[in-house]
Amino acid sequence: MCTEAGASDVAVYAIAANGTLSVVSGPLTDGQKAACWIAAGSGGWQFVANAGSNTISMYRVGANG
C-alpha cells in the first residue's frame, strides 16, 4: 500500500504486481492546511505533515485499507 496527500486530502492506493494502481480508500479530508509529506511508521501508522497549519496528522491503515 502507499498513501498520497493532495489538497489536504489523504487516500490509500494498492499497487498490483503488474503495476496497476487502484484506490483502496479515500480521499479523506485531512482538515488541515497544505498536507504535503507522508511518512510510513510501524503497525500501519502514517504521519502526514501539514505545512500550512504546522501540524502532523496521524492515520492508521488497516490490512484491508
pLDDT of residue 7: 59
Q: What is the pLDDT of residues 2-53, one digit of tens each?
A: 455 555 777 778 889 999 998 887 777 777 777 777 788 888 888 888 888 8
- pLDDT at position 5 is 52
The b-or-e profile of 5-39 (16+ CB within 10 A means b, else e) is: beebebbbeeeeeeeeeeeebbeeebebeebeebe
Model confidence, pTM: 0.62
Residue 42 confidence (pLDDT): 83
Contact 30, 6 (CB under 8 A): no
